[in-house]
Amino acid sequence: MLRRRRSGRTLGGVNWSDFDAALFDLDGVITPTAVVHMHAWERMFNDFLAGYDDQSPYTDDDYFTYLDGKPRYDGVQSVLESRGIHLPYGDPSDDPSATTVCGLGNRKNDAFEKVLASEGVEVYPGSKLLVDQLAARGLALAVVSSSRNARNVLEAAGMLDSFPVIVDGNVADAEDLLGKPRPDTFLDAAAKLGVPKERAVVLEDAVSGVQAGRAGGFGLVIGVDRGAGREALLENGADIVVEDLEELT
């Protein structure tokens, strides 16, 4: 836990005058939607795995180890590989009923979209506060999310206008950028903001996300522990770990 300091240019122990940009992950960092993704994956995988006699049920450990923060189909591949299940990759246009990597990913997306439409999206109050404070200090802000739903989530949360640069799963696909844990999407966001990586801060809740931050050589990597675990975040690339971004305000 960081000691809160409000003096000078320091917020929550971070000297923000050392930085010109903040690159925020979305799900689990700005909005509590990591939980929605988590539940949608759980429902889809448990239905799918029930068709196998020799597979144990999918658990939260599967989520944090193989899925958290990764692009949709990379996550599906990773879970299937860990269980020795081989399916054809298919194509992102696959119907959700297709028994392919892409079909399973799209099946989960149906569940995610239903929850989004019926329940809407909130914002973590501490995250909104930090975003507003950093914007007021003149930092350039971006969202860097693996999700193809990022724009919809930001819009539903009323935060779309807070981020001049959004690098999401669709941008990564269109620009051929490798997804987290590779650093490419974060580097792309920093370049679009015109800020050198050493002057940019990465804020991430997923192990794959802090790995991307470390691999990219960013000025500071802040882990937000929403379930991945403080130690896991520190071991994989976080310089500091908080439980909520309110600690940095």
Ligand X SMILES: O=P(O)(O)OC[C@H]1O[C@@H](O)[C@H](O)[C@@H](O)[C@@H]1O
Binding-site ranges for ligand X (CB under 6 A): 27, 34, 37, 67-69, 71-72, 75, 109, 112, 145-149, 169, 206
Q: Given the structure tokens 């009323």, which residue do they identify?
A: 158
Q: Shortest Cβ distance from residue 52 to ligand X (Å)?
A: 22
- As measured in angstroms, the least distance from the Cβ of 73 to ligand X is 9
Active site residue 53: no
Q: Catalytic residue among 25, 94, 168, 184, which?
A: 25
- Encoded tokens for 102: 């892409």
The CA–CA distances, whole Å, from 118 to 43, 110, 154, 195 equal 17, 12, 16, 38
CB nearer ligand X, residue 13 or residue 227: 227
Nearer of residues 144 and 241 to ligand X, judged by Cβ? 144
Is beta strand 140-144 parallel, antiparallel or unpaired with respect to 21-24?
Answer: parallel
Looking at the Cβ atoms of 109 and 236, the one nearer to ligand X is 109
* CB closer to ligand X, 37 vs 128: 37
Is 25 part of the annotated catalytic residue set? yes
CB of 105: closest distance to ligand X in angstroms? 6
Instruction: Give phi and psi for 131, each to the nearest 5.
Output: -55, -45
Rg of the chain over all Cα atoms, to the nearest angstrom:
18
For the bound state, the minimum distance from the C-beta of residue 208 to ligand X, rounded and expressed in Å, comes to 8
DSSP secondary structure letters along 64-78: IIIITTS-HHHHHHH
Catalytic residue of the set 27, 62, 68, 184: 27
Q: State both tokens at 175.
A: 């620009």
**In the numeric block, which tokens belong to residue 135?**
């914007």
Element (H, E) at 93: none
Torsions phi, psi for 195 (to 5 deg): -120, 130
Q: Which residues are catalytic?
A: 25, 27
